[in-house]
Structure formats: C-alpha cells, structure tokens
C-alpha cells in the first residue's frame, strides 16, 4: 500500500515520530515527495551514507537552478546573502571548522561548566517554588540561548532582540513557509547580521574576554574575512539555541514519563551521560537534516538530479530496527554511540559537548533538587507541529508539589 506523502508539519508525526515513520521506512527507504518537490530518506544506513557523501552538501546555496537562486536572492536578500556565504567548498568548510572547533571542544566546554551550571540553576529555580510550572515556556526557552549569548558576550539589553532575530533566521529553513513569513524571516535575518557586524566592529576596537573577540583574533591570523565570522555566528546562535531548547524539553519529557528509567538513573547516577545520549536518540530533536545533490547521481537506487533537495528523516534512522534493537524502548543502558542525533561526517555537530552538558545539568537539577515524584501533567502536554525543522513541545507542565 502506498502512503500519502509525509508532511514535516504533520501532527501525528510530531507527537509520535517513531510509529509514524515506520510505515514509510517499511515501504521504501527513499521516496520522492511530490507535494514538497523533494526526496525523503527513511532509514539509518541511507541517512548515514548521505551525511558523509561528497556528492551532497547541506548548503542551501546549492538548491535549485541558478535562475531560481537569483529569484530567491531578489525576494529575500538577507537570507540569500547567508545562503550564498554558506556555500563552501570542502577546504573553506574545514577552515571555518578550525575557527570554531577549539571554542567548542570537550576541554573548552569543561572550562565553561561552572557558568553553564549557574545559568541552569538560576533559570530552573522557579521549579523550587512548588506548584505547576510550564517548563517549555517558562524555563527551557532561555537556557541554551543564555548560554550561547553569554559565550559570545551579547550585551544584556540586546538579548531579546537577538533571540527574535535568531528565531527568524532558523525558521526561514521551513519547507512550506508563506511569502509573508519569508519576508519577515528575511527582515529578522538582516537585523541579526547587522547586530553581529556591530559587535565584531566593537571587539576590533575594544577586545573583550568572549567568543567574538577570540574569533576576530583567529580570523586575523588565518585571514578569514569578517563576513565569514558573521555567518559562523549566525549558525551558532540559531542552532545552538533553538535545537538545544527543544532537545532539553524532549529529554525532560521522556525521562519523567518513563518512571522505570528515571528510577534506574536515580539509583545509578553513573549512567547520566549515556542517559542523555539515549534520550536524544529516543526523541531525536531534528525532524530532518537537509542535503542538496551537487551532481546528477544514483542514490538508494533512485536517479537524483543536481540541485535536488533530500530530507533525511532523523526519527526514521534513530528508530530503525535494522540498526537498534527494540528502538521504541527507552533504555538508558543501551550503546548509542552510533546514533545520528548530531549528524555524521564532515558536518558533525560542533555543539555536541555544549548541548549534552546543558541537558545533563538540567537532568541533575531535576534529580537533585526536586521531590522524587515530580510528574509531567501528560494530558496537558502539547506539541507544535508547525515547526518543520525540529520536534517541538509547546507546553510541558510539570507538577512540582508532590
Ligand atoms: C541537542 C542539540 C543539538 C542537536 C540535536 C544538533 C544537531 C545537529 C546536526 C544533526 C548537525 C549536522 C547538520 C548537517 O549535517 O547538515 C549539526 C551541525 C551543527 N551544529 Fe548542532 N545540534 C545541537 C546543538 C548545537 C549547539 C549547542 C551548537 C553550538 C552552539 C551547534 C552548532 C552546530 C553547527 C555550527 C553545525 C554545523 C557544522 C558543520 O556544518 O560543519 N549545535 N547539529
């Protein structure tokens, strides 16, 4: 039986990804989605292959024909500018990674741990007051954003403006945005670019102890243009804050609704790092990872054309029984070292250590500071299916009065 094409904003997919994608994966690991005009990939093996393939790029600047790109640039000049600067050949990509890697290495994040813990302790404090707290709207929304903007040295009075602009940029990647939404996201992206340009100019005049100053110094030595720094910072703000926020909510929800695993973690605290990884596999935050074909090529037995978009379905890979035994079971003892949550290959996520550290501290706060029987009010949990990029919990009420 052929199933109707999967929509990234499908409600059922957002609420129950593993079960929803199962039937597509069983039908075929790659199919053309006529409604969206792109390929969808469902399965661990093929997703891993696409992530590492030199014939594919994650750069939106490679999408479509030259005419289509020029038209997009005209409609959305700021997004077009970001997309064109993100189109990197492998050597330029490696140079950009060199710029970022040291700031996000395990050692660098370990040095940041005290500050990250402080942010989490302050922002999670309302949970200590007793009562029902909506974790998704009142708490998690600020955690990764505060961590990443602290690291960059964003001034206090710019934080809210930055957040709006970063969200605008992140949402521009939606697959079915309206022209009005795109115009708004383009405007926000312009604001983000200008703010970052101003901060880079400030740091050139008056260096500080922050990431932007470090980038400016490294860029001087490595002759990296300022525009490249701005693009890199745009990426760090958007992915570093939105993906991690949703990841924190999903992990908290999964752990608190699987009491056996919560109990196991309480009794064996050494499992905490593995628990974070398994929680991230079990409710993997990205809906899809994008790839664009650089050449006409055969992929998964299909003829893929240069410029075609492939949406690699993360939940279909993380829930693939050909790779994980009983993938639908949350098992914090499971070996999840091969999970694709943070990607694979040359674009493997820069922020893994930072994201895992934030999630670990949040879980430790719940385990150490709150009553053992705190509970999610499951009938009041809602999801936002409209986010086409990331699984998003809209409301996560937690009862801390127990
Ligand atoms: C749980 C939270 C996160 C998840 C699930 C996640 C997931 C991912 C994935 C799947 C990729 C690969 C994209 C691709 O192959 O096209 C990626 C790349 C990336 N991530 Fe993350 N990420 C998270 C948190 C962060 C954080 C905290 C930062 C930084 C502050 C960050 C920065 C980046 C950057 C810069 C890239 C691009 C790397 C490149 O192209 O070389 N991410 N992330």
Q: Does the CB atom of residue 314 touch ligand 1 within 6 A?
A: no
* Block residue for tokens 């999903």: 250
Average pLDDT over residues 59-73: 71
The pLDDT of residue 174 is 63
Q: How far apart are CA 82 and CA 78, in angstroms?
A: 6
pLDDT in tens, 113-143: 999 999 999 999 999 998 999 999 999 988 9
Structural domain boundaries in the chain: 11-399
The pLDDT of residue 84 is 75
Cα dihedral value 234, 235, 237, 240, nearest 10 = 180
The pLDDT of residue 103 is 82
Q: How far apart are CA 81 and CA 44, in angstroms?
A: 33
The pLDDT of residue 98 is 81
**Superfamily the domain 11-399 falls into:** Cytochrome P450 (1.10.630.10)
The pLDDT of residue 58 is 81
Q: Does the CB atom of residue 232 touch ligand 1 within 6 A?
A: no
Q: What is the mean pLDDT of the chain?
A: 90
Q: Which residues contact 216 (CB under 8 A, 6 or more apart)?
A: 200, 203, 204, 207, 229
Average pLDDT over residues 225-251: 88
The pLDDT of residue 389 is 82
With b for 16 or more beta-carbon neighbours within 10 A and e for fewer, the 119-135 pattern comes to bbeebbeebeeeeebbb
The pLDDT of residue 209 is 86
**What whole-number percentage of the chain has pLDDT above 70?**
96
The pLDDT of residue 60 is 61
Q: CA-CA distances (angstroms) from residue 319 to 27, 67, 204, 323, 329?
A: 15, 39, 47, 8, 10
In the predicted structure, residue 223 carries a pLDDT above the cut 80:
no
- Give the DSSP letter string of 264-284: HHHH-GGGHHHHHHHHHHHT-
Q: Does the CB atom of residue 143 touch ligand 1 within 6 A?
A: no
DSSP letter assigned to residue 341: T
99 Cα: distance to centroid of ligand 1 (angstroms): 15
In the predicted structure, residue 104 carries a pLDDT above the cut 90:
no
The pLDDT of residue 101 is 84
The pLDDT of residue 175 is 59
In the predicted structure, residue 341 carries a pLDDT above the cut 90:
yes
**CA-nearest residue, atom 7 of ligand 1:** 342
Two structure tokens written together for 79: 């997004």
pLDDT in tens, 160-212: 888 788 778 777 766 567 889 999 999 999 998 999 999 999 999 999 988 89
Q: Does the CB atom of residue 83 touch ligand 1 within 6 A?
A: no
In the predicted structure, residue 351 carries a pLDDT above the cut 80:
yes
Q: Does the CB atom of residue 140 touch ligand 1 within 6 A?
A: no
Predicted structure pTM score? 0.91
Cβ atoms of 219 and 211 closer than 8 Å: no
4 Cα: distance to centroid of ligand 1 (angstroms): 30
pLDDT in tens, 379-390: 999 999 988 889
In the predicted structure, residue 88 carries a pLDDT above the cut 90:
no
pLDDT in tens, 250-279: 999 999 999 999 999 999 999 999 999 999
Q: Does the CB atom of residue 243 touch ligand 1 within 6 A?
A: yes
The pLDDT of residue 63 is 61
pLDDT band at residue 21 using 50, 70 and 90 as cut-offs = very high
Indicate the top mutation candidate among 56, 239, 246 to test ligand 1's pocket, ranked by most ligand atoms within 8 A of CB: 239
Distance of CA 172 to the CA centre of its chain: 14
The pLDDT of residue 336 is 97
Q: Which atom of ligand 1 is the closest one to the Cα of 355?
A: 27
Greater model confidence, 341 or 145: 341
Greater model confidence, 102 or 64: 102
Q: How far apart are CA 127 and CA 295, in angstroms?
A: 52
Indicate the top mutation candidate among 86, 102, 276, 342 to test ligand 1's pocket, ranked by most ligand atoms within 8 A of CB: 342
Average pLDDT over residues 203-231: 86
pLDDT band at residue 73 using 50, 70 and 90 as cut-offs = confident
In the predicted structure, residue 92 carries a pLDDT above the cut 80:
no
């Amino acid at each position: 039986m052929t199933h109707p094409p999967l929509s990234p904003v499908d409600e059922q997919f957002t609420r129950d990804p593993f079960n929803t994608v199962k039937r597509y994966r069983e039908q075929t690991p790659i199919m053309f989605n006529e409604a969206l005009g792109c390929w969808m990939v469902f399965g661990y093996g093929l997703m891993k292959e696409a992530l590492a393939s030199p014939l594919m790029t994650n750069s939106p600047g490679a999408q479509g024909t030259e005419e289509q790109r020029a038209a997009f640039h005209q409609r959305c000049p700021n997004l077009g500018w970001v997309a064109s600067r993100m189109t990197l050949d492998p050597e330029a990509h490696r140079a950009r990674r060199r710029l970022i890697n040291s700031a996000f290495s395990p050692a660098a994040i370990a040095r940041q741990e005290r500050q990250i813990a402080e942010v989490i302790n302050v922002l999670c404090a309302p949970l200590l007051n007793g009562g029902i707290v909506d974790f998704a709207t009142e708490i998690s929304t600020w955690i990764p954003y505060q961590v990443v903007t602290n690291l960059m040295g964003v001034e206090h009075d710019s934080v809210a403006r930055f957040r709006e602009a970063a969200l605008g940029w992140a949402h521009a990647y939606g697959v079915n945005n309206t022209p009005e939404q795109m115009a708004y996201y383009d405007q926000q992206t312009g604001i983000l670019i200008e703010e970052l340009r101003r901060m880079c100019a400030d740091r050139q005049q008056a260096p500080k102890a922050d990431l932007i100053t470090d980038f400016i110094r490294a860029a001087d030595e490595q002759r990296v243009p300022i525009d490249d720094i701005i693009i890199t910072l745009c990426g760090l703000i958007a992915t570093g804050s939105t993906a991690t926020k949703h990841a924190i909510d999903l992990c908290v929800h999964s752990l608190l609704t699987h009491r056996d695993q919560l109990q196991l973690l309480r009794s064996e605290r050494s499992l905490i790092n593995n628990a974070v990884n398994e929680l991230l596999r079990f409710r993997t935050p990205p809906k899809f990872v994008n790839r664009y074909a650089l050449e006409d090529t055969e992929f998964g037995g299909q003829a893929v054309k240069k410029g075609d978009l492939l949406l690699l379905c993360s939940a279909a890979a993380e829930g693939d029984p050909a790779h994980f035994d009983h993938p639908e079971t949350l098992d914090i003892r499971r070996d999840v070292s091969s999970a694709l949550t943070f990607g694979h290959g040359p674009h493997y996520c820069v922020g893994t250590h930072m994201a895992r550290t934030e999630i670990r501290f949040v879980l430790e706060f719940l385990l150490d500071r709150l009553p053992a029987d705190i509970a999610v009010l499951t009938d009041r949990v809602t999801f936002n299916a409209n986010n086409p990029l990331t699984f998003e919990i809209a409301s996560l009420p937690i009862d801390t009065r127990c």
